[in-house]
Amino acid sequence: MAYEFLNLEQEGAVAVVTINRPAVLNALSEAVLREIESAFDTLAADAGVRAIVLTGAGEKAFVAGADIKELAAQTPVSGRETARRGQRLFTKIEQLGKPVIAAINGFALGGGCELALACTFRFAADTARIGLPEITLGILPGYGGSVRLPRLIGKARAMEMILTGKPVTADEAFRSGLVNRVVPAASLVDEAKAFAADLAAKAPIALRYAMQSVERGLEMPVPEALELEATFFGLVASTADMREGTTAFLEKRKPVFKGE
């Protein structure tokens, strides 16, 4: 389908979603969020798509935050509902079952940072700036930032970013574990797509269960997490992909996984 605020392309098994509002630094209005949800619903249902790259149009911003005009009009009731809608969407991306790589090509602030946090991996251009500046507007993160950030980089560092509102550089984000890689801005999307293509060649069922084992296991006591891992291991042991992978190894050839 055609989108007003997104570009959606596919290269082999890799889809590239570009938020396309460069004039307002790709700000997340309600209309943009609806289109992102529609696009990810479509990609989740498409077996031909095995990995996704998410980025922003232009050279300045991945997503510079929410639409401030819409924020300024919030009431207590609408504010809570707005936050819950955004949280549900970002959780959907986090639990998509397919790896999503955020290619952070500039500012990732507020909702943009929270969107990146919901992705499986984060690649940052060396020019990127990442932060949660909501406190400077008299509010706090509402799309999962205060939940995901401390789980990713630890309480102390997350508290500093949230309470000061100051963004960090790409190198600082890498040192804290906030991003996986820092690359030259000119090659950011190409490197993210190459990484996505490598993931897309893996067994998709095993990939999905491995992601679930990590995400769900982090919230469980260790004995329960181990039981979950064993269950997932048993499930993938029944797949044709498992037989293909082990046979290919023994035959010293590259496996061809079909998601079966």
CA-CA distance, 159 to 146, in Å (whole number)?
8
DSSP labels, 61-88:
EEE--B-HHHHHT--HHHHHHHHHHHHH
224 in catalytic set: no
From 4, 59, 114, 172, active-site residue: 114
CA-CA distance, 214 to 154, in Å (whole number)?
17
Q: Hey, CA dihedral for 216, 218, 223, 229, is it positive or negative? A: positive
114 in catalytic set: yes
Instruction: DSSP letter for 143, please.
Output: S
From 30, 35, 70, 134, active-site residue: 134
Beta strands in the chain (DSSP E): 6-11, 14-19, 51-56, 61-63, 100-104, 107-109, 121-125, 129-131, 168-169, 181-183
Residues with active-site annotation: 114, 134
